Amino acid sequence: MNNQEIIAQLPYSKPFLFVDEILQINENGVEGTYTFDENLDFYKGHFRDNPVTPGVILTEVMAQIGLVCLGIFLLDNSFNRNASIALTSTEIEFLKPVFPNEKAMVISEKIYFRFGKLKCKVIMKNEIGEVVCTGIIAGMVISK
């Protein structure tokens, strides 16, 4: 399965699809990017006159790229296509704000994938390479 096929398998669509591209992916991790379009609705009220990307959206971007894309890749190689990954837990530390029109890179490293559970260490960096948030995200395989 190539990178575009993985993105096409994601169970999301715009405006809730937060994956622009997968730069690399293998059995140990994934790297991908997303650019935060200034026209996304949540910027209208978070925060007034100084829009900042909400932490829940940063977490979702990290989960879509760092957990779900990797899970789809791993399932294609070790399970079957009748399963997907559902988020079970997150522990994220937010270090810097992310503003409209910023491009973020997500780097995910698999901690383990066993007994139907995928756990990853995930980092998000801004365009100049600064870490904006980091944490652990876990999910489990569910049947479709």
Catalytic residues: 46
SS3 22: strand
Beta bridge partners of 140: 86, 117
Check whether the bond before 47 is cis (ω within 30° of 0): yes
Between CA 118 and CA 138 the distance in angstroms is 6
Residue 5 in tokens: 């096929």
DSSP 19: -
